[in-house]
Amino acid sequence: MRHHNLNILSIILFLSFSAVAIAGRYGGWAAINDINDTHVKEIADFAVTEHNKQSGENLKLESVIKGETQVVSGTNYRIVLSANDGTASKKYQATVYEKPWAHYRNLTSFDPALN
């Protein structure tokens, strides 16, 4: 009987540690390791195209410099990219929210990157 209780206790402990581990991942930002991933390129393309539509500018995506993702109810992408505005290459930071199962994407922010 004592053993039985101990087992239940360790299961409960294990479950609460797992819950904390999952909660830690959920909502935290994680670096994108492969910035050459086609999906990451697609998100960067979407950000630049959408920014051009909204601003009337004509930026051309050159490359993705780095990025991070955050799992929420969907995924937030925070991407630093290089784009050419017709005269020079500049760095921008874009945030895109994606809900793949709903085929939904929204450009949440697009700003010049500070570094």
Ligand X SMILES: *[C@@H]1O[C@H](CO)[C@@H](O)[C@H](O)[C@H]1NC(C)=O
Which chain residues interact with ligand X by CB under 6 A? 34-36, 106, 108
Q: Cβ 65 to ligand X, closest distance in Å? A: 11
Q: Cβ 105 to ligand X, closest distance in Å? A: 9
3 state SS of 37:
coil
Q: Please name the residue ranges forming H helices in the chain.
A: 2-25, 38-55
Q: Please name the residue ranges forming H helices in 26-113.
A: 38-55
In the complex with ligand X, the residue whose CB is nearer, 34 or 115, is 34
In the complex with ligand X, the residue whose CB is nearer, 6 or 45, is 45
Location of structure tokens 């051309």: 60
Q: Please report, as a single letter, which amino acid is at residue 47.
A: A
In the complex with ligand X, the residue whose CB is nearer, 35 or 113, is 35
